[in-house]
């Protein structure tokens, strides 16, 4: 990244009255959360539709919970990195100055919240929330293992299952209904409320920052053109060029934890 481009970016950032940030797996990869499609990605070991889909749930909810139990276990040992913290700090400074800041994330690990981000729009749900299939209530749940039956179950192997979990071993709501992960699975629609909140944050923003995501999957793929239509500047922080690189005014190549702390260390310019 050239010093000139960095200074131009920071000068635009200081003047921004409304900022939107879109983050993806790349931000959490630096914290040790496995990514999906990259090297060592989760979906290279598991066929996504065989484990994170309504069909998989119909076939074997125990296998699906084994997968999420394993992901919760992994996430529990991970901490926010300097990239998460730099975004939380930017949000606090911007909100204190009476300006608008919206963090939209495709991540489900909760690391943004742990770093201090207040109310990120979680497009794909949360590893730490469960939803009752009977009464529909969504609740926070940090139990690891999710139920005692899942203790030590490790990483599921769809091809060589050691055992099946019974209905009684699945997590249950107080109402008696079965709990599922509050995660948007393949083939499921995103929550209207989250989509609306994300669009409201992007529409009319002065600056859209895309971090750690290739932004090729809907709806993230639509945010860059949406921001663009309203005249926003677009900046990208990614370890490699992505589908949005050619649409960006600023491209910073590298990890979020390495680039964001100094890049975002600015104060808003007082309003005239």
> How far apart are alpha carbons 240 and 16 in whole angstroms?
26
E strands, 106-238, in order: 121-122, 125-132, 138-140, 179-183, 207-211, 233-238
Using the minimum distance from each CB to Zn ion, give the nearer residue, 136 or 187: 136
- Residues with Cβ within 8 Å of 229's Cβ and at least 6 positions away in sequence, in order, are none
Q: How far apart, in whole angstroms, are the C-alpha atoms of residue 32 and residue 71? A: 11
Choice between 156 and 171, CB closer to Zn ion: 171
39 vs 168 by CB, closer to Zn ion: 168
**Contact string 80-119 vs Zn ion (x = CB under 5 A):** ----------------------------------------
- Binding status of residue 138 toward Zn ion by CB under 5 A: no
Is 132 one of the binding residues for Zn ion (CB under 5 A)?
yes
178 scored as a contact of Zn ion (CB under 5 A)? no
Does residue 173 touch Zn ion according to CB under 5 A? yes
Helix ranges, 77-165 (H): 82-96, 111-115
Active-site residues: which are they? 124
CB-wise, 146 or 209, nearer to Zn ion?
A: 146
* Contact present, 196 and 137 (Cβ < 8 Å): no
The yes or no reply on residue 175 touching Zn ion (CB under 5 A) is yes
**Which residues here bind Zn ion, judged by CB under 5 A?**
132, 134-135, 173, 175, 177
């Amino acid at each position: 990244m050239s010093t000139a481009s960095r200074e131009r970016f920071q000068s635009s950032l200081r003047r921004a009255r409304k900022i939107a940030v879109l983050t993806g797996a790349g931000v959490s990869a630096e914290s040790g959360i496995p990514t999906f499609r990259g090297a060592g990605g989760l979906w290279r070991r598991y066929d996504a539709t065989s484990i994170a889909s309504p069909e998989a749930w119909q076939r074997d909810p125990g296998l699906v919970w084994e997968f999420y139990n394993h992901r919760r276990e992994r996430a529990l040992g991970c901490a926010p990195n300097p990239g998460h913290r730099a975004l939380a700090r930017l949000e606090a400074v911007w909100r204190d100055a009476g300006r608008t800041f919206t963090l939209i994330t495709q991540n489900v690990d909760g690391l943004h919240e742990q770093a201090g981000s207040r109310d990120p729009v979680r497009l794909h749900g949360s590893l730490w929330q469960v939803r009752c299939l009977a009464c529909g209530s969504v609740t926070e749940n940090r139990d690891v293992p999710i139920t005692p039956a899942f203790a030590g179950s490790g990483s599921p192997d769809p091809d060589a299952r050691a055992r099946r979990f019974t209905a009684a071993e699945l997590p249950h709501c107080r109402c008696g209904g079965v709990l599922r992960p509050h995660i948007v699975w393949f083939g499921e629609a995103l929550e209207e409320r989250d989509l609306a909140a994300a669009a409201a944050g992007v529409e009319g923003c002065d600056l859209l920052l895309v971090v750690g995501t290739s932004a090729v999957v809907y709806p993230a793929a639509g945010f860059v053109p949406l921001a663009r239509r309203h005249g926003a500047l677009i900046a990208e922080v990614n370890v490699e060029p992505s589908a949005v690189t050619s649409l960006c005014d600023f491209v910073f190549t590298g990890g979020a934890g390495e680039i964001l702390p100094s890049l975002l260390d600015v104060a808003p310019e007082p309003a005239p």
